[in-house]
Amino acid sequence: MSDAVRFPDPNTEIETIPLEIDRLRRSFENGRTRPLEWRREQLKRLIRMHEIHADEFVGALQADFGKPTFEAFTSDVSQGKLEAKSALKNLKKWTRPERVGGLPVMGRARVIREPLGVVLIISPWNYPVGLLLSPLAGAIAAGNAVVLKPSEVTPHVSAVLAKRLPEYMDPEAITLVEGGVEETTVLLEQRFDHIFYTGNGQVAQVVMEAAAKNLTPVTLELGGKSPCIVHEDADIETAARRIAWGKFVNAGQTCIAPDYVLVHESREEALVTALGKAVRDFYGDNPKNTADYARIVNRRHHERLATLMKDGTPAFGGEVDDDQCYVAPTVLRDADDESSLMRDEIFGPILPVRKVRNIDEAVQFVNSREKPLALYLFTKDGKVEDDVLSRTSSGGACVNGTLFHIMDSRLPFGGVGSSGTGAYHGRHTFETFSHRKSVLTRGTRFDPKIMYPPYGEKLTKFVKRFM
């Protein structure tokens, strides 16, 4: 799991990248990906790949950063399969022309979905299987040719994907590029019809700048500091379990993990105590010894987290192990509001807890920061729920829970402002990779001359009365 034990980063020969993109574009322009039969077959193959090689993907995730088997399968490996099954089931409905009501004199109006063309999907390292193959399912369902770029930070996963995808997917329309900054830079120099990027804001700026040169639309799934507000009426024991689970799953390396807690001052002590109990219930007295707790992906991130730890006072946790890239589940108090801990996305198992006097102070604190990808609220009061949701802006929200809003594919998942642009999951992924083309078909039997010049004063007066 440390950088020292990794094999050299996998990569694709740079000079072949433009040739691959050109080859896929010819396939798309020749109509290879448009038939529903092709889309169904590719979705079936994607499902089959998951069924046969799930354990291989899990093993790669464990080799890269020690993901527990249960977490690796449920929160990562299974996601692409679930998205592909949903797309396969609903493909006919999603692709059916959408009838639009209108004036009979104008003609028959409808909206048809057409594929965008050749699309690029760039995935991150924290959920490197699911966040690559989930959007792939939607891109296939929409009828696109696809270039996939897995993260170089998880080379075992990248290698397995590079090996297995060509065995199942149509190589004339779906390809994978391995590598790091150099390969990604060359990729972004190519013309795509859509770029789907999941990762951090700094790289997103690079992606947008490159996309702008070709006026390429982008979907950016980013992150940010997702707040968790605990009202004074909250069920503290339940809130603590759900916050601890959402924060410490995958060792906090989740874009929608609670990044800090704002708790009513009268409940702060009880919440911190309950969080400590929840962690012991989950992972025992020494989380380092359990198979259910992940490691930090590499030494660079481990060192970054160890430095962040100094910005607060541990209520519990705080232990680190450099050799294992281990950071204990940690709750911190007394962090300065302007510290890196409270300004930058943590992306690790460190949870600052800050007292607030009331909901107004909590809302004001959230609104003083960039818009988060997720917002969590624990309360029994429906009025408080409505108040907080109406006065804050976030990509998504979950009341009396964490992370669960991402699991319902009927809900669009995406950010707002600095936490991202665009959304996906279920049909929303299909729509992301489709163009909604407006079509109006007029009849020829009725063609009144009054519609054509010369218009005359009477027609002008008549039109002015009704428009």
Catalytic residues: 221, 255
Sheet (strand 145-149) strand order = 174-176, 145-149, 118-122, 194-198, 218-221, 420-421
320-321 and 313-316: which strand pairing?
unpaired
DSSP-assigned letter for residue 370:
P
Closest CA to 125 of 326, 329, 303, 347: 347
Length of the chain: 467
Do residues 332 and 352 touch, judged by C-beta distance below 8 A?
yes
β-pair partners for 326: 321
Using CB atoms within 10 A of its CB, is residue 103 exposed (0-12), middle (13-18) or buried (19+)? exposed
d(CA 97, CA 109): 10
- Residue 49 and residue 80 in contact, taking contact as beta carbons nearer than 8 Å: no
Residue 195: how many other CB atoms lie within 10 Å: 23
- Cβ neighbours of residue 280 under 8 Å, at least 6 residues apart? none
Q: Report the alpha-carbon distance of residue 178 to residue 213 in Å, rounded.
A: 23
Q: Measured between alpha carbons, how far is residue 199 from residues 28, 125, 359, 428 in Å?
A: 28, 8, 31, 19
Q: How far apart are CA 295 and CA 327, in angstroms?
A: 7
Using CB atoms within 10 Å of the CB of residue 37, give its burial: 0 to 12 exposed, 13 to 18 middle, 19+ buried: exposed
Q: What is the DSSP string of 24-88?
A: HHHHHHTTTT-SHHHHHHHHHHHHHHHHHHHHHHHHHHHHHH---HHHHIIIIIHHHHHHHHHHH
Q: Are 9 and 3 in contact (CB under 8 A)?
A: no
Q: What is the DSSP string of 154-189?
A: SHHHHHHHHHHHHHHS-TTTEEE---SHHHHHHHHT
CA-wise closest residue to 169 among 206, 136, 123, 216: 136
